[in-house]
Amino acid sequence: MGIIKFALKMLVKDKRKSIAFTMTMFFTVVTAFIFFNIINNPYLSDNTASTGGASFDEVSVPLATLISFGIILFSCFMLANANSLYLSHKTDDIAVMEAGGATFTSTAFYLVVQTTIMSVIASIPGIIVGTFAARYANSVMYHYLNINANVGVISSLAYRDTIATILSILGVVAILDAGYIHRHDLAYMLTQEVHNDVTTKGLYHLPDYLYIIIALGGLIMILTTPYGQTGFIFPCFFGSLGVTGCLFQVIPNLIGKLKPKIWINKKNMLISVSNLAYSLRRSSMLIILYCISTLMMIALMITCRDRPKEFITSIMAYIILLIMMSVSIMYKYSAEARGREKTFFNLYKLGYTRKQIKKVIALEVLGFYGLLVLLPMIYMIVLLYLFVSHQAVTITFAIVVFLAEVLPPIIMGIITYYSYGSIILKKVKGVL
């Protein structure tokens, strides 16, 4: 009972640290409910429903179902990433418990209690919002597919499958939490909050010039491939690997080389680009997911243009994916800002004013979201131009896709700037 009370007390006290996990859990539940409803909705069933065969080659699964399952799995993966971010903010709590003699089991139980409470808080409104969102999704799909049915009818299987997904997530999160405690000792917990580790373990690492060649090679493949709606999926995937490498490795390395030559005498810009390089490296996994998933979804949407159900499902998946990725990146960035409070406070003691600190933050955030949008945008513009020129899509559709790609990062960038500034300026309150 003591552990439960301590878990509740710390959850209330540090509620800002739990926002990322709670919101991601909320979006995961809403996403799961919407797409489980699509999968189980009898009015949206394909004439070629999922069928089994005598061999693997004879198994047939509708593309819309695969897209739906893919987005559900992707949202669960984003939740696991949010849980990792949450754990990185709980190292001080864990260290206090371990220093006080808490056992492995009691420490793991402490985290499980907190994640369970946050999951329940997020899941109940998530299912409610998901129900209304599913009705709206039914309305859009029924209208687009010319289906005459009651949009308010929600499959009971959607509730069952969503609840089963929530319970499965809780089990996986409990295992991840226990594994985190098992892998790290007390010394690690005490230093993790201030440890600036920018390594990208587990990611592929190539020389900088190869990432540039891969990024350009993907564009060349798109431009030289004979037109075909399915012919651009692999070039997009191939090129996005190069784009992500440029973002989390090439550009930070280039900044490191240019700092002493260009920005050494520009103190605001010097600090901004240094923080920018650090943030790009620290966000490498989210950058990879963002670039690959958005470019692949654009190619997939166009591929499904002549299949109404798959097309509208891929559009919904694309919109949800953009929202989830943008929100995840924003929370990741805000979390990084908390680790820089001491740095900016030292700048204040060195004579920096509030205006200068806000300028440093603005340049850093602008650089991060500008690069995040600009590099994938090159591919997107080329793809949309080819599809419009071959009359696969209308100019209006291309403009909508362009705005859908650009607006969420811009909005999240503005929110990040004010959130970042609020965190830092509280630390240096009183600067003239």
Considering the domain boundaries, does residue 112 fall inside one?
yes
Considering the domain boundaries, does residue 266 fall inside one?
no
Identify the pLDDT of residue 228. 65
2-11, 75-84, 118-127, 149-158: least confident range:
2-11
Considering the domain boundaries, does residue 240 fall inside one?
no
The neighbouring-strand residues paired with 60 are 51
**Using the 8-state DSSP alphabet, how is residue 202 labeled?**
T
Whether the Cβ atoms of residue 172 and residue 79 lie closer than 8 Å to each other: no
Q: Identify the sign of the CA torsion 346, 350, 355, 361.
A: negative
Identify the pLDDT of residue 47. 46
Angle between helices 354-389 and 284-303 (to 10 degrees): 30
pTM of the model: 0.76
* Residue 219: how many other CB atoms lie within 10 Å: 16
Integer Cα distance of 371 and 244 in angstroms:
11
**Using the 8-state DSSP alphabet, how is residue 428 labeled?**
T
pLDDT in tens, 84-109: 777 777 777 777 777 777 777 888 88
In angstroms, what CA-CA distances link 98 with 95, 148, 190, 194, 327? 5, 61, 11, 19, 33
Considering the domain boundaries, does residue 154 fall inside one?
yes
The neighbouring-strand residues paired with 51 are 60
Considering the domain boundaries, does residue 134 fall inside one?
yes
Considering the domain boundaries, does residue 21 fall inside one?
yes
**Using the 8-state DSSP alphabet, how is residue 231 labeled?**
T
Considering the domain boundaries, does residue 12 fall inside one?
yes
In angstroms, what CA-CA distances link 306 with 5, 154, 229, 230, 279? 57, 27, 10, 12, 41
Considering the domain boundaries, does residue 244 fall inside one?
no
Domain span holding position 173: 1-195
The neighbouring-strand residues paired with 328 are none
Domain total of the chain: 1
pLDDT in tens, 242-301: 998 999 899 999 998 888 888 888 888 888 898 889 888 888 878 888 888 888 888 788
Residue 7: pLDDT band (50, 70, 90) is: confident
Specify the amino acid at residue 266.
Answer: K
Q: Which helix (H) or strand (E) holds 225?
A: none
